[in-house]
Amino acid sequence: MVGFLIAMVIIGVIAGYLGRLLVPGRQPMSVVQTIGLGIIGSFVGGFLGYVLFDKDIADGALQTSGIVGAVIGTVIVLVLYNARTNSRRPRRRHA
């Protein structure tokens, strides 16, 4: 169990930072938020892999993915997060 948690944190760090690097714009996030983003992205990538490729059906639809799937899932989650938070921010007018 401890090994699984450590692996999730390591994947979260790698996928979170790579996802933030690939998405243009500023993402003011802490290290903990970046790790959480990567972990959530890993599950999104695992779900997409399950849906698109019908793999690992015995493991169920909600599962972790490899690092590539985690980065793809992280980019998707970050783009959706940015779209949601940017719509709530007031626009500044420049003179």
**Residue 34 identity (one-letter amino acid):** T
User: What are the boundaries of each domain within the chain?
Assistant: 2-22+29-88
Q: Distance between CA 88 and CA 95 in Å, rounded?
A: 22
Determine the length of the chain: 95
Instruction: List, for residues 41-80, the tens digit of each pLDDT value.
Output: 988 888 887 778 766 556 555 566 678 888 999 999 999 9
Instruction: List, for residues 7-52, the tens digit of each pLDDT value.
Output: 888 888 888 999 999 998 888 888 999 989 998 998 888 888 777 8
Question: Closest Cα partner for 53 from 35, 65, 71?
Answer: 65
